[in-house]
Structure 1
C-alpha cells in the first residue's frame, strides 16, 4: 500500500491523519474503529474566551506568537481558576504571566535555567504581574511543594510532567492541569552517570494488566513525531538532514562491513550549510571511523535520498499509531490520578494546527471522598 503513494501524497498524508486512515482502511478494515479510539471531548474554549485570556501584544514582550496563543487557549480552558498557581517548568514565565492576568491569583514558577528565571522575573516586574519564578530543579528529592495550590504544566517533557503528577498527588494539591509532551524524555542517574531506563506506567491498574504495552524509547518518541507547526524552511532542513543520515548509514555499513545501524548524535537542522561531505566527516569522527580519501560522497548522497523516499512511505504506516499511543500514555496518567482521589477531565484544549500536543489532563481532588473508581473520560 505505502509503496504506491506518490511524493505529493506522502507530503499531504504526513500531516493529514484522517486522510491517511481513510486510505489505509481500504487495506486494513479494522481501522474503521480508529475514530472511536482517538475521539475525545472538546475542551476547546470559545475564540472570544481565548482572545480575552491571551496577553495583549503590548505585554507579550519576547513571547513568540504561537506560544502566546497556546498559553491563552490553555488558560481559558482552565477557567475558573480558584487557587494560587504553581507553574511547573515554566521557562520564562509566558504561561505564568498569562494565568496571573487571567485569574488574579499569585503564580509561582519553578524553572532550573537561571537565565530564564532572571529574564522571566524581569518581565514580571516590568509589567507588575503577580508572578515570581524560582530557580528550582523539580527532580530534586528535597523539593518542597506548596500547599493548597493549583499545579499546571504546559508541554513539560517526559519525566518532568510525570514528576508533577507524582509530587502533586503526594502533596494533595487540589488541582492538577497539564498538557504533556516528549514522553520519551526518560532518564535516570546511576553512580552519577545518566542512563536511559525502561518506561514505567503510573497507575496500579495498568501495571496489573498482563497484556499491557511495554513501549521502548523509540515507541515513546513516535507519539510526538509530528511537524504540523514547523515552518516550511525547517521541514526542508529536517528532510535534508534525514537524507544525509541515511546516506551516512549506508556508508558506515559499507566501511565496517556490518549491516547494522550505528546511532549518530543529533545535529541541528540549521547546521547543514557545510554540505553532505562535511556531515559525513563529522559523523565519522563521532563514531571513530576513518573515511577513505576517495569516498564517493555524491554516490552515498544519492543512496540516502533514495532510501529516504522508501523510509518515509513506511513511516506513514507507523504514523497511524501516534495518537492511539499518546492516548494510551495519557489515559494511564488519568487512571493514576483517579486512583489517588481525583476527578479527571481529558480532552483537547486547542486545535491541532496550533499545536499537535493539544491534550489537556485536568484533575480536581475530591475532598472527603475515598478515591473514585474510574470516572468516564
Structure 2
C-alpha cells in the first residue's frame, strides 16, 4: 500500500464515521439532524449567546467530541516543496503582469514557482493565458493555451504577440475531447483552478495521451454533470462514501471572507429564504423544502413581504397568500438562520478533510497509472483557499 493510499484510508474511515455531522441538507431540516447521535453537541448549539465559530466555541466542541479534532492528523504539511529546477524571477517587468489583478497575479507566480521546467507546456482552460504567459516569459519555451471562449483566445494571442512570446492559442472545447491532440504533444500540462469536470477531463485525457508531467490546482468539484461523485481511483471506488453535489460544494465552502455589504445581503437573503420556506410549509400544509430560484439582490432591499410575494409567484403559490400572511414568518427565518449558522460551524470542521479526500482520489488515480505524484499547498490560504497542487511525473 502506498503512502497516498494509507492516508486516504485513514481519512476515509474518519469521514465515514461522522457522516451525520456533515452529510445532510441544511435547508431541508427544521431540527438538528444528528441530535439523537450527538445529544451533548446538540445541547451546546441550543445555548443562548453562543459565539459560533470562535476558538472558545470549538474548544467546547472538541471537549464534547475529542475525535473531531483528529482531522488535522490526516492533513499533510501546509506547503509543497518548490521544485528544485525552478527559480522564479521576482523582479519581473510590470508590463508582463499588465491587466492581471494583484491577487490573481500572485497566485500565478506561486503556481509557476512550484511547476517544474519542461520542454513545452499545454495550458488547460487558459482564459486569456495569463499562467501560460508567465511560463513562456520565464522559460522561453513553447506554451499551447487551450480555451473554449474565442474572444479570450483572441485577447491572449494579441498579448503574446505584443510581448513576443512563444505562446499560441487554440479555441477548443476540452469536454468534447478537442484538447487531446495538444496533450499528445505536451511535455507538461498545467491548470490553475480548472473547475470540476474540466480538471477531471485533463487528468483522464493526459493519462490516455501519456503526457509526461502534470501540474494541477483543482477547483469547484461540484461543477459536474453527474448527480453523485464518480471516484477516479480504485481505492476511492472501494469507499463506502457516496458524495452528492451538495457534499462536493461543502468541500470548497469557506467561511465568508466577503465585504460587509456582501455579507449583509447574503445573510438577509438566507433569512428571507428560510422565512419563506417556513411560510410555504404552513400555507401548503406540506413539511418539505421548496427551492426558490436566484433573486435580483435589489429586491431584498424592498423587504421580506416583497421577497415572499415574488417567491410565491415563482412557485405558483400566489393563491395561498390571502389566507396566510407573510409577516409572521420573518422572525422564524431569523431564528432558522442562526440555527443553520451553528450547524454549518460544525460541518466546516469536515471541509478540509473532504477536499483532501478529493485531491487524494485524483493523486491515487495518477499513481495507479504510472505517475510519481506529490501533493501539497502551492501558496498560503490567504492568497487563495483553493491552494492544493497535484504534481505528477511519469515514472
SS for the counterpart of 1:155 is strand
Matched, 1:87 2:123: yes
Matched, 1:61 2:112: no
* 1:224-243 → structure 2 map (5 Å cutoff): 224-227=252-255, 229-243=257-271
What is the RMSD of the two structures over their aligned residues, measured on CA atoms?
A: 2.7
SS for the counterpart of 1:35 is helix
CA distance in 1, matches of 2:126, 2:164: 18
SS for the counterpart of 2:122 is strand
* 1:1-377 → structure 2 map (5 Å cutoff): 1-4=44-47, 6=49, 9-10=51-52, 12-13=53-54, 22-40=59-77, 42-43=79-80, 52=89, 56-78=93-115, 80-141=116-177, 143-146=179-182, 147-187=185-225, 196-207=226-237, 209=238, 211-227=239-255, 229-267=257-295, 272-290=300-318, 292=321, 296-366=325-395
Question: Which residue of structure 1 lines up, in the alignment, with residue 41 of structure 2?
Answer: none
Q: Note if contact 2:144-2:169 (Cα within 8 Å) is conserved in structure 1.
A: yes
Q: Note if contact 1:44-1:350 (Cα within 8 Å) is conserved in structure 2.
A: no
Q: Note if contact 1:21-1:31 (Cα within 8 Å) is conserved in structure 2.
A: no
Q: Note if contact 1:85-1:152 (Cα within 8 Å) is conserved in structure 2.
A: yes
Q: After TM superposition, give the deviation of residue 260 of structure 1 in Å.
A: 0.5
CA distance in 2, matches of 1:83, 1:23: 54
Deviates more, 1:226-235 or 1:316-325: 226-235
CA distance in 1, matches of 2:147, 2:49: 46
Q: After TM superposition, give the deviation of residue 28 of structure 1 in Å.
A: 0.8
SS for the counterpart of 2:192 is strand
Uncovered stretches (5+) of structure 1, i.e. residues with no partner = 188-195, 367-377
Deviates more, 1:256-265 or 1:120-129: 120-129
What TM-score comes out, normalization by structure 2 length?
A: 0.79
What TM-score comes out, normalization by structure 1 length?
A: 0.83
Q: How many residues align?
A: 347
Q: Note if contact 2:88-2:138 (Cα within 8 Å) is conserved in structure 1.
A: no
CA distance in 1, matches of 2:273, 2:304: 9
CA distance in 2, matches of 1:154, 1:335: 20
Deviations 1:79-109 (A, max 9, x none): x311311111122222222222233222222
CA distance in 2, matches of 1:50, 1:252: 60
Question: Which residue of structure 1 lines up, in the alignment, with residue 38 of structure 2?
Answer: none
Q: Note if contact 2:127-2:147 (Cα within 8 Å) is conserved in structure 1.
A: yes
Deviates more, 1:156-165 or 1:105-114: 105-114
Alpha-carbon distance change, 86 to 286 in structure 1, aligned in 2, over 3 angstroms: farther
Q: After TM superposition, give the deviation of residue 361 of structure 1 in Å.
A: 0.7
CA distance in 1, matches of 2:203, 2:143: 18
